[in-house]
Amino acid sequence: MSSPSPATPLQQTLRPSSAWTAWGQWLALITMTVDHVTRYLLPDSWDVGWASSSIGRIAFPLFAGMVAWHGLFNTRNPFRYARRILIIGLIAQLPYMTMPRDGFQLNICFTLALGLCWGTWLRDLARRPGVDQDAPLQRPLLLGVSLLAWWLFSPWLEYGHYGLLLIPFYMFALQALTQRTDSFSEHLLMVAASLPVLLVAGLMNSSDMAKSFTVMTTLLILLLAAGEASRVPQISPGAIMPRKVWLAWYPAHFAVIALLLHGPW
């Protein structure tokens, strides 16, 4: 694969502060755990489904936003980063499969990892020099093949078609919102680049409450990219989430839920 062409001054991307992601890790794990506990462990008679449809809808767009953010701004090799996420997903898949659901499904780590790979590949494809001149049909053909793969394989993933679109659209929006430019027309293009990810976030859920929490979470991350990230204070050293906790929480919490659901008591 050819190296990406150098960016022009107006296309140079600012590297925004990532201090917010340290706070985001705690919020993502807490909201995800609330979602899964209320969905799988608590009886229907408790009538706490509202927690899954509100607090629980923060987790996935927040995870996806952090993955897209790190993939763009904080890692030299997004594919290696995706591989680490995929390993977590493989470990979590067995306890995940014991959760009550209709049919086989791959857990959210597969959605995040494949979404990051697809978004990175699309970005590299758009930046690849000489494709249109040497083979004018190559770029649309490759794009068409990737869209066919998205349509065929998304149903096997958690959040399906919309879920797999979220990170590529996040990357497109974050890239646009962090451009150095003083042009009014380019600022309008930045706003337009945010619309696809907001639309997908709204389509992922059915209830109005779930939609509102998902869209507001996505909008907050876009605002951070637009400059608000610099206002977020650094988390205190004692409150930083240990790396082992961050990596182990997803498979471990499913293992605990599976034990409580299917244990001998």
| pLDDT in the model for residue 69 | 98
Helices (H) and strands (E) in the chain, counts: 11, 0
Answer whether residue 2 is part of any domain. no
Answer whether residue 12 is part of any domain. no
| pLDDT in the model for residue 131 | 56
Answer whether residue 210 is part of any domain. yes
Helix axes 160-177, 138-153, angle to 10 degrees: 140
How far is residue 249's CA from residue 213's CA, in Å, rounded to a whole number?
Answer: 23
Q: How far apart are the first and last CA of the chain?
A: 56
**Considering the entire predicted model, what is its pTM?**
0.90
Answer whether residue 69 is part of any domain. yes
Other residues' Cβ atoms within 10 Å of the Cβ of residue 148: 10
Answer whether residue 67 is part of any domain. yes
Q: Which of 130, 232, 236, 218 is nearest to 177 (CA)?
A: 218
For the chain, how many structural domains are there in total? 1
Listed in sequence order, the residues at least 6 apart from 50 whose beta carbon sits closer than 8 Å to its beta carbon are 209
pLDDT tens digits in sequence order for the chain, 265 residues long: 333 333 433 345 568 999 999 999 999 999 999 999 999 999 888 888 899 999 999 999 999 999 999 999 999 999 999 999 999 999 999 999 999 988 899 999 999 999 999 999 999 998 876 555 666 778 889 999 999 999 999 999 999 999 999 999 999 999 999 987 777 777 788 889 999 999 999 999 989 999 999 999 999 999 999 999 999 999 999 999 999 999 999 999 999 999 999 877 7
Residue 106 bridge partners (DSSP): 157
Answer whether residue 8 is part of any domain. no
How far is residue 158's CA from residue 164's CA, in Å, rounded to a whole number?
Answer: 9
| pLDDT in the model for residue 2 | 37
Answer whether residue 230 is part of any domain. yes
| pLDDT in the model for residue 34 | 96
Answer whether residue 117 is part of any domain. yes
| pLDDT in the model for residue 10 | 37
Residue span of the structural domain in which 92 resides:
17-128+136-262
| pLDDT in the model for residue 9 | 38
